[in-house]
Amino acid sequence: MISSSIYALLLFLYISFLNTPKPIPKKKERIVKIAVITPPAPPKVEPKPVIVPPKPKKKKIIKKTKPKPKPKPKKKIIKKSKPKPKPKPKKKIIKKSKPKPKHKPKKIKPKPIPKPVEEEVYKEIVEEIYQEPIKRVKPKPVVVKQTPPPTPKVDLSAHKQRFKDRARASIIANKKYPRIAKRRRIQGTVHVVFDIGVDGTATNIRTSGASNLLQKATKRSIQKSFPIDIPDIIIGEFPMRNVSINIDFILE
């Protein structure tokens, strides 16, 4: 116990020794004496006089004046005066005075004796007029042309209708149902109008009704069916205008 207390006391003293502040040695103050020495004033240097170089004197340029050319003395041109022509002495024209005509004595003409007046007798002259004999023209016989009796008109409507039926049958025979129209189940009737020329060709084709697919198919079938033969009996009816036909497109 005593050793432990001694040990503890020693430890306390050691710690307290460590905690006691150590005296800081004071620094000795150094006295620095500063002597202000004023430097001697520099000797005054007198400024050197600035030597200004003399300006070069400008030489006066004396312009030599050219002596003016003396005017040449003009020769006096003495114009010789032409001698004035001497006036010719005018000849005095002495007019000769015509002698005055002497008065001739007037001749007295004798008065004419009147002649006896002759009476003129006029005779009537009768001229004979010659008349040519008048030729009598015989009248020409009038020829009456006999016109042939008019030919009886033949009713051609039946012939025309038969021709149209034949043309329609030819168009139907060349008709082809478009594949797209079949797929889409498109049906209808195409109304077609066209002209037929003298040579049997179809022109000016116009279609209406149904769809565009069926109208185009109708035009193709007409183009394949023509030209067509025209019977002689109805050839005078051509060109035939506005032939109208209906073409049916019906799916079975």
What's the CA angle centered on 88, arms 85 and 94, to 5 degrees?
165
Q: Distance between CA 191 and CA 242 in Å, rounded?
A: 12
Q: From the first residue on, what is the mean pLDDT of each consecutive set of 10 residues in the chain (252 residues)?
A: 73 76 58 58 64 63 63 63 64 61 60 59 52 65 66 79 94 94 94 95 93 94 94 93 93 85
pLDDT at residue 155, rounded to an integer:
80
Q: Are 235 and 177 in contact (CB under 8 A)?
A: no
The verdict on residue 64 lying in a domain is: no
Domain count of the fold of the chain? 1
The verdict on residue 203 lying in a domain is: yes
Q: Dihedral, CA atoms, 227, 232, 236, 242, nearest 10 degrees?
A: -40
What's the domain range around 223?
A: 178-249
The verdict on residue 220 lying in a domain is: yes
The verdict on residue 219 lying in a domain is: yes
Look at the block and give the residue holding tokens 């009537």. Answer: 124
Does residue 133 have a cis bond before it (omega within 30 degrees)?
Answer: no
The secondary structure of 221-242 as a DSSP string is HHHHH-S----GGGGGGPSEEE
The verdict on residue 133 lying in a domain is: no
What tokens appear for 73 in the block?
Answer: 């003395």
What's the CA angle centered on 95, arms 89 and 101, to 5 degrees?
175
pLDDT at residue 231, rounded to an integer:
93
Q: Distance between CA 192 and CA 209 in Å, rounded?
A: 9
pLDDT at residue 184, rounded to an integer:
94
The verdict on residue 127 lying in a domain is: no
The verdict on residue 115 lying in a domain is: no
The verdict on residue 199 lying in a domain is: yes
For residue 190, give the CATH number of its domain.
Answer: 3.30.2420.10
pTM, full prediction? 0.40
